[in-house]
Structure 1
């Protein structure tokens, strides 16, 4: 792409640089993760000072269009995936509604004796086993969420289901279980080594942790879900209305 600043224009240089950068980062090579030219090289190509260039870059970083890492460089930010607190759906359904194809990088099914707090949530007797489903999911070449789900035995899941299908679709169509209510807790955490390895980030990096409690139409607990999201890949949106 031909990058040229018009030094005779009435438009400030940093605004011209910003407009050129907006066009530059639309190109496929930068959308696919290639680093932008370094500031010295880019400022030289535009015939402007690094200070002027930095004003333009900072604007795009602020808008979360670019991400800058010290010692690495500047590149186009990965799009954030959002989830709304209202009209909640399964992860697969959320992504489908956004036209995003979900990839399962890992899928593990086991029967376990749950920890005490999970057994208490399900109101189960001691040593009663539940189905545990673990999935590493994301878009192509980008795993960005690790889910751990526990299901009440009454649901009827065997572990032989095709979990590439949307989870709540399986429950409703195959077992006549309708997920009616979700209660959620969300907070920021530092990634453990286990989660960091799964999400391909560094141990201690910030992640978004979501705990979801799901109930059927009779108010009975059916799922206890833990979700660990890359912090730079996910946004949770809350919609509130004053009564």
Structure 2
């Protein structure tokens, strides 16, 4: 039988130490979650087994776990277990970039899990933004993207027919770079709306989370240099993997 990470690390509590047991347990957990196996998403040892191994009560162990959950280092789901929280991706609202550019600026390699391009009739909301009728089809792009470990955002983009897209473009390239180089469409202004929602069955399936889990909904309205609408974008971000940061300076 292969030894567990706990066995290899020889976790133990010094019951003669003046340091409180829950503080010792907390430090052991901090050391434990640094192990690559747990960073990769492996569940932490069962509370009953771990408490028994450390010769402490479950109440003491849970006090230590709660501290790390509060610090967003651990995620605990009822009936599932406790695991290391993935590092949150940060997006700053100062100088907006395409998603690829945002992630590149933070040293994160983006993985494309799904890419779908189709021609659809716009609904009233999208048609109203583009100031067009609903009877003419436009290009719709859907992308499921994330880190090497798992997907954390599902995008839906609609494009104004004025751009002249064919649907055959290489959407794996940074979007605004491609639009500028191939269609001379320069994205100059972005207006955004942010809200918190619960994931429905479809979004939960895409992001590999439970239905009803919190999701950040980010709507982006993109305009060209003449302030004409060019893209209507909707992004569904896995809440545990993404934080949106707003930076402002007093004038």
Identify the TM-score tier after normalising by the shorter chain: over 0.9
Question: Counterpart of 1:27?
Answer: 35
- The equivalent residue for 2:3 is none
Aligned to 2:237: 229
Q: Pick from 215, 227, 232 the counterpart of residue 219 of structure 1.
A: 227
Within the candidate set 200, 204, 209, 1:201 is matched to: 209
Report what 1:172 is aligned to: 180
Going from structure 1 to structure 2, the CA distance change for 1:61 and 1:124 (only over 3 Å counts) comes to same
The answer on whether the counterparts of 2:154 and 2:206 sit within 8 Å (CA) in structure 1 is yes
2:14 equivalent in structure 1: 6
SS in 1 for 2:240: coil
Distance between the aligned counterparts of 1:226 and 1:134, measured in 2?
10
Cα shift at 1:10: 3.0
Range that drifts further, 124-133 or 36-45: 124-133
Aligned equivalents of 1:39 and 1:22: distance in 2? Answer: 15
Cα deviation code 1:91-135 (max 9, x no counterpart) = 111112222221212111112221122112112245232211111
Q: Do structure 1's residue 186 and structure 2's residue 168 form an aligned pair?
A: no
SS of equivalent residue, structure 1 residue 154: helix
Which of 168, 177, 186 aligns to 1:160? It is 168
Unaligned runs of 5+ in 1: none
The answer to whether structure 1 residue 48 and structure 2 residue 56 are counterparts is: yes
Length-normalised TM-score, structure 1: 0.93
Measure, in 2, the Cα distance between the counterparts of 1:174 and 1:31. Answer: 41
Count of aligned pairs: 243
- Is the partner of 1:232 in helix, strand or coil? helix
Match of 1:62 in 2: 70
Residue by residue, what CA displacement relative to the aligned partner does 1:205-226 show, whole Å, maximum 9, x if unpaired? Answer: 2211111101112211110001
Which 4+ residue blocks in structure 1 deviate beyond 6 angstroms? none
Q: Is the 8 A contact 2:122 2:134 kept in 1?
A: no
Query: Aligned match of 1:82 in 90, 98, 104?
Result: 90
1:61 Cα offset (Å)? 0.4
The CA distance in 1 between the partners of 2:47 and 2:116, in whole Å, is 45
Q: Among residues 158, 178, 181, which one is paired with 1:150 in the alignment?
A: 158
Instruction: Quote the RMSD (CA, aligned, Å).
Output: 1.6
Structure 2 CA distance for aligned equivalents of residues 212 and 242 of structure 1: 25
The reply to whether residue 99 of structure 1 matches residue 107 of structure 2 is yes
- Residue-by-residue CA offset, 1:217-239 (whole Å, 9 max, x unaligned): 22111100011112222111112
Cross-structure match for 1:116 = 124
How far the C-alpha of 1:71 sits from its partner, in A, is 1.3
Structure 2 alignment gaps of length 5 or more: 1-8
